[in-house]
Structures are given as C-alpha cells and as structure tokens.
Amino acid sequence: MENHKRCPQCLTDKPLTEFHRSKHAKDGHQSYCRDCNAKRVKGWREANYDKFLASHSKYNAKRNGTLRGRARKAYDKSVHKCRQLGLSSNLTFTDVLALFEKRTNCPYCGCSIGMDEGQEKPTAEHIYGFKTVVGGVNHLLNFEVVCHTCNIKKGNKHVYDWYQQSDAFTDQLWRQFVRNFAERLAERPVTEAEIDNVAETLRAEAAELAEYAERERGDAS
C-alpha cells in the first residue's frame, strides 16, 4: 500500500508515520516501526546496561560542560516532565538559551554563575514547581536560571517563603527578582508602585498557600 510499509519485527503493515525518519533509508524511514524500535532499544539497554551507562554518562558530561549543553538539557527535561504530568508548555529552547546566556548572577543569592572554574553552575528553576498546589507550568514567565545550591535548597517552596528563609536572598535581590518577574508578566518596564503590588501579591499568595496546607494537615488528622 502507498504510504505504508511492513515492520520486519511485528510483520504488520503500518503507515509511514509509525516509523521514525532515516536519511539513510531509501523510503526515508527506519525499517522497524516505532513500537518495535522502542522494544529493541529497551532490550539492548537491559542486555548491555554497563555499556549504556558509560555512554550515557559520557554524553551527559559533554552536555554539562557547555552553557548551551546545560540549557538544552534543562529544556529537554522540562518538556519531558510536562508531558508526563499533562501540563501546558510553550517554552522554546531559544527562550531557555537566552536566559542561560543572560544570567551571570543567581537571582536568589547573587553568586556568580557560569561555566568557568570557581563559578556555581547555572541550573533551570521553575518559580512555581510542577508539584505545588499552584501547579507550575513550563512558560517563560515561570522559568528562571539560578545557581545549583539555591535550586536544591528552594525545592518546591513558594518563592516568597524562600526569600524569607534564605539569608542570602537579600531585600535588594528580592526587589530585583520581583522587578524581573513583573516585567516579564507585563511585557514592559514597570514602575516602583507596580513592583510593590506584585511583591504584596506574592506575599499574600504564600500566606494563603500556608493556610491551605495547614487546613489539609488538620483534615488529614
């Protein structure tokens, strides 16, 4: 049949869309269908786990060694997580790379971030975590680049709670963070009064979430 081919593994005629593309094949598609190919890859990994682990570790080390590689890894990971959780995503790799290149200091603690020796390595941070009550989404507004230490310590905390708990997250850094957040939200420069309003909104939001968590604990007991 036109636009169909037979998979030699499952012996089923399937549309070409069920086969990964391949520039080396005459018809432009791999021999095995997507399902069979996935099973073959999984089987090889299980049978050759040491080889796979060594290759995967080498690949990750290479990616983590460049700013672009870290940005690509962050983008791929966030998109994959969204697919797993069924969350929306309009983030592009161009957005992520631009923010990785722009941030030279961690917005949460002010330390120098980059790929040079002695610098904290930049990592992707979702201001509202995927697993929070608010339900973080994979949009540029919710995306930030911070140092690895702050990323780990903040976890899924609300950003205002993290500001209150972290000694390194100074009042000056907090106000700059709120300014950046507000300007991305408004898509224009914001006034000092608008910064105050957004800061108050974040404070009130954190308090509301804390009350909600307290009620949840009370109901559970």
- Is residue 4 predicted with pLDDT exceeding 80? yes
Confidence at 59, pLDDT banded by 50, 70, 90: low
**CA–CA gap between residue 175 and residue 157 (Å, rounded):** 18
**CA–CA gap between residue 7 and residue 30 (Å, rounded):** 9
Tell me, what's the pLDDT at 110?
97
Instruction: Look at residues 170, 160, 142 and name the one whose alpha carbon lies nearest to residue 201.
Output: 160
Would the pTM of this model clear 0.85, i.e. be above it?
no
Tokens of 68: 């672009």
- Is residue 1 predicted with pLDDT exceeding 90? no
Contact assessment for residue 26 and residue 18, using Cβ atoms and an 8 Å cutoff: no
Tokens of 174: 């907090």
When mean pLDDT is compared across 51-55, 149-153, 186-190, 215-219, the lowest value belongs to: 51-55
The residue count of the chain comes to 221
Tokens of 51: 């080889």
Tell me, what's the pLDDT at 8?
95
Which residues does residue 89 pair with via DSSP β-bridges, in sequence order?
138
The dihedral built from the CA positions of residue 95, 97, 100 and 103, taken in this order, carries a sign that is: negative
165-189 pLDDT, tens digit each? 999 999 999 999 999 999 999 999 9
